């Protein structure tokens, strides 16, 4: 039996080996054929990716690391050339003034210029920076009690959760810059402190509403333009409160920077004249953002209309006039843009943050702190008690000197303390993580939340301190509230220093 099985077993082994050899050779042949086919396959076209010509992105945009805040829309879609033909650039205003029988009020500029490409185009349309974490809220000894005492229960920052705030503030999604053909710049038909609306013989452009009733009305009167106010290309940066110290930086400066980045360098630049506006323009020139010979100061007292073959304007988007919280200012995108361009450079990370800055308004002025000297004593005492006199130094800020000096000082801030007012605008220059304490008041105009929004969107640690008095008069500070806040801040700084 064993002898019969042996030949069968040998045959079985031989068959198995033969089968394996055949399969192995077929696999090798298949791989060789596949490889040859792969080599002879037609090349697929490379994916097309858009790259902005390096010459079209200005050096300062790269230097201050703000390229990601723009989309370069009209370079992508070809409108840069379409919208700047010789015929458009050579257009002139009418010789005589006249009144329109009708006009179109435009809120949705994107849709309008899609359907009216002969009247203008979209220069840039970019999404705002995403909210990656719940929106921060102010800090206080007791936020509910502080909001109630200062009559600001209506602030969304006082009555909404961080998750709700992320959806409500700001009530925008994009930043849009436009080029309007044959455009006029209004001098403030709705309110003398709110010039800058662009209008043409066909339309009035209203990105955003204004509180006055006429804020979304059409402009019908076409003015006669003096030759000195006629331009080929003009950036229109003027807006709310013009050169008012507390408003130019956070409200007009973002618009100006967006337009300087995306509009042609051949365009002249219409900028508010006087005060903080002049000083900040000096800084822009010194930092290589704009050439001095491009600047055209807007002098409100003259009430002169300007005309350009192409007028450039930018605003936040969308139009929010009918929203329950029509908040479209002080977005994190805008605040980051201003901070990086005006206060950022390669040395920013090594600047020593060793100052507690106490903002002083002139004695007797609206919202000057009656107990200012007491605050200085309390801060000095708290520093001694916490053994931090070698790490932090008190500095009184009285807005003396040039804006470049203010920027240099506030870059060194670890803590900023001050009443609501223009001095708080300088928080724009302070680094993320800076402690900001704003002292409120109780009567007159409701305590605005603008500096709270600015501070939180700059990633500061913002505190509200109770104050008492009227918006238009000197105010008192709640010293007990202040002592609690400054001690809490110094304790947190001490812990941070121990960890670092």
Within-domain flag for 341: no
Among the three residues 294, 329, 364, which one is the final residue of a domain in this structure? 329
Q: How far apart are CA 19 and CA 190, in angstroms?
A: 93
Q: What is the pLDDT of residue 11?
A: 57
Within-domain flag for 141: no
Of 453, 483, 450, 449, give the one whose Cα is nearest residue 465: 483
Within-domain flag for 225: yes
Q: How far apart are CA 323 and CA 171, in angstroms?
A: 8
Q: What is the pLDDT of residue 240?
A: 79
Within-domain flag for 378: yes
Neighbours of 159 (CB within 10 A): 13
Residues 123 and 237 in one domain: yes
List alpha helices for 64-116, DSSP H.
Answer: 73-76, 79-82, 86-89, 109-115
Residues 289 and 421 in one domain: no
User: Using alpha carbons only, how large is the chain's radius of gyration in Å?
Assistant: 31
Within-domain flag for 23: no
Residues 286 and 387 in one domain: no
Residue 154's contacts (CB-CB under 8 Å, 6 or more residues apart) are 446
Show pLDDT as tens, one digit a residue, over the chain (500 residues): 444 445 555 555 656 655 555 544 544 444 444 433 333 333 434 444 445 554 579 999 999 999 999 999 999 999 999 999 999 999 999 999 999 999 999 999 999 999 999 999 999 999 988 877 889 999 999 999 999 999 999 999 999 999 988 888 777 888 999 999 999 999 998 888 889 999 999 999 998 776 677 888 999 999 999 999 999 999 999 987 888 888 999 999 999 999 999 999 999 999 999 999 999 999 999 999 999 999 999 988 888 999 999 999 999 877 776 665 667 789 999 999 999 999 998 777 678 999 999 999 999 999 999 999 999 999 999 999 999 999 999 999 999 999 999 999 999 999 999 999 999 999 999 999 999 999 999 999 999 999 999 999 999 999 999 999 999 999 999 999 999 999 999 999 999 999 87
The two three-digit tokens of residue 120, written as one number: 């203008």
SS3 content of the chain, % helix, strand, coil (to 5): 40, 20, 40
CA atoms within 13 A on the CB side of 441: 23
Residues 383 and 420 in one domain: yes
List alpha helices for 217-359, DSSP H.
Answer: 245-247, 253-262, 275-286, 332-343
Q: Residue 468: which H helix or E strand, with range?
A: strand 467-468
CATH number of the domain where residue 367 is located: 3.40.50.360
Residues 369 and 296 in one domain: no
Among the three residues 329, 363, 381, which one is the final residue of a domain in this structure? 329
The two three-digit tokens of residue 244, written as one number: 């008012």
Q: How far apart are CA 166 and CA 135, in angstroms?
A: 5
Cα angle for residues 126, 108, 253 (degrees, 5° grid): 50
Residues 444 and 300 in one domain: no
- Residue 135 buriedness (CB in 10 A; 0-12 / 13-18 / 19+): buried
Within-domain flag for 451: yes
Give residue 421's Cα distance to chain centre: 20
**Host domain of residue 490:** 346-499
Residues 317 and 178 in one domain: yes
Q: How many domains does the chain have?
A: 2
Neighbours of 245 (CB within 10 A): 19
β strands within 257-403, DSSP E: 268-272, 295-298, 306-317, 355-359, 393-397
Q: 249 near 277, Cβ under 8 Å?
A: no
487 — phi, psi (to 5°)?
-65, -40
Residues 217 and 74 in one domain: yes
Among the three residues 278, 299, 329, which one is the final residue of a domain in this structure? 329
Q: Which residue has the tokens 């470049």?
A: 404
Residues 318 and 378 in one domain: no
Within-domain flag for 25: no
Residues 369 and 226 in one domain: no
Within-domain flag for 350: yes
Residues 257 and 295 in one domain: yes
Q: How far apart are CA 418 and CA 426, in angstroms?
A: 11
Residues 297 and 379 in one domain: no
């Amino acid at each position: 039996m064993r002898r019969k099985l042996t030949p069968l077993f040998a045959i079985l082994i031989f068959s198995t080996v033969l089968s394996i050899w055949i399969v192995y050779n077929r696999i090798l042949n298949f791989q060789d054929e596949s490889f040859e086919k792969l080599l002879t396959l037609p090349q697929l076209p490379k994916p097309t990716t858009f790259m902005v010509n390096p010459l079209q992105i200005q050096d300062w945009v790269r230097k201050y690391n703000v390229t990601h805040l723009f989309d370069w829309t009209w370079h992508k879609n070809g409108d840069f050339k379409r919208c700047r033909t010789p015929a458009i650039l050579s257009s002139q205003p009418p010789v005589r003034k006249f009144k329109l029988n009708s006009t179109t009020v435009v809120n949705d500029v994107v849709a309008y210029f899609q359907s009216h490409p002969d009247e203008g185009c979209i220069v840039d349309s970019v999404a705002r920076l995403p909210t990656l974490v719940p929106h921060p809220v102010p800090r206080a000894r007791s936020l509910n009690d502080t909001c109630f005492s200062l009559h600001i229960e209506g602030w969304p920052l006082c009555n909404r959760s961080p998750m709700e705030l992320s959806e409500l503030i700001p009530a925008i999604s994009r930043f849009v810059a436009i080029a309007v053909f044959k455009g006029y710049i209004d001098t403030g038909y709705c309110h003398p402190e709110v010039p800058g609306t662009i209008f043409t013989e066909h339309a009035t452009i209203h990105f955003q509403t204004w509180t006055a009733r006429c804020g979304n009305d059409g402009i019908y009167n076409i003015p006669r333009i003096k030759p000195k106010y006629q331009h080929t290309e003009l950036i229109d940066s003027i807006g709310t409160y013009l050169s008012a110290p507390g408003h130019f930086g956070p409200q007009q400066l973002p618009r100006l920077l967006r337009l300087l980045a995306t509009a042609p360098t051949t365009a002249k630049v219409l900028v508010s004249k006087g005060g903080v506006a002049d000083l900040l323009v000096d800084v822009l020139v010194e930092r290589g953002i704009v050439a001095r010979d491009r600047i055209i100061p807007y002098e409100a007292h003259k009430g002169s209309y300007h005309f350009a073959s192409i007028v450039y304007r930018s605003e936040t988007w969308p139009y929010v006039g009918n929203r329950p919280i029509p908040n479209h200012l002080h977005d994190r995108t805008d605040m980051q843009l201003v901070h990086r361009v005006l206060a950022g450079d390669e040395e920013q990370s090594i600047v020593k943050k060793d100052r507690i800055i106490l903002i002083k308004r002139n004695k007797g002025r609206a919202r000057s702190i009656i107990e200012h000297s007491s605050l200085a004593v309390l801060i000095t005492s708290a520093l001694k008690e916490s053994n931090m006199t070698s790490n932090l130094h008190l500095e009184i800020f009285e807005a003396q000197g040039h804006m470049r000096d203010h920027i240099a000082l506030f870059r060194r801030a670890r803590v900023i303390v001050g009443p609501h007012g223009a001095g708080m605008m300088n928080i724009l220059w302070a680094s993320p993580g800076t402690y900001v304490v704003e002292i409120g008041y109780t009567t007159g105009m409701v305590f605005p939340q603008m500096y709270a929004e600015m501070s939180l969107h700059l990633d500061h640690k913002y505190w509200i301190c109770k104050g008492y008095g009227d918006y238009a008069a000197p105010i008192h500070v709640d010293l007990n509230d202040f002592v609690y806040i400054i001690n809490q801040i110094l304790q947190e700084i001490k812990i941070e220093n121990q960890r670092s």
